[in-house]
Amino acid sequence: MVIQDDNADEILMNLNRGHYLFEFTNEELYEILEKPDEWNYIDYKLAQKILKERGKDINENLLASLKEERVTELSKPERRYSFWIIVGYISSLLGGLLGLAIGWILWTMKKTLPNGERIYVYSESDRRHGKIMFMIGIIIFPIACLIAILNSINS
């Protein structure tokens, strides 16, 4: 981080006022500070510098608080996708690979938070549905394949 800070300070010193962030409102600059994972490091540091130049108090406590809020926000599970859960169950019961794929995604998908922590994307309930539809698919898919092979042999 120190090397990145040194490079950022050098770049910020040589940056002219034509940079697009100088046209941002204070609210837009605060949004950069709230969501640094969506911006590059230079923009993040420049937003701090511009806000300080505009007389806003930007300190380590504020930045740490914003970072904590962001991690908390990103830690929340994705909203429920009832349609895909229904499609996944139907597909799994019919022996389709789509049900296996939906089940696997719901059950195992993770994301990495800005602090490096890896968490599941979906709620415990949705993950349970994903595991069930995946297991159904694992059982039904080979049976469906066997039936299809036997039908093609008998035809």
> 51 is in which domain, residue-wise?
2-75
On the question of pLDDT at 6 being above 70, the answer is no
144 shares its domain with 116: yes
7 shares its domain with 71: yes
Of 75, 96, 112, the domain-final residue = 75
Of 17, 47, 75, the domain-final residue = 75
On the question of pLDDT at 14 being above 90, the answer is no
- State pLDDT tens for residues 66-120: 999 999 999 988 888 889 899 999 999 998 899 999 999 999 999 999 888 999 9
Global pTM reads: 0.69
Number of residues written out for the chain: 155
104 shares its domain with 150: yes
Number of domains observed in the structure of the chain = 2
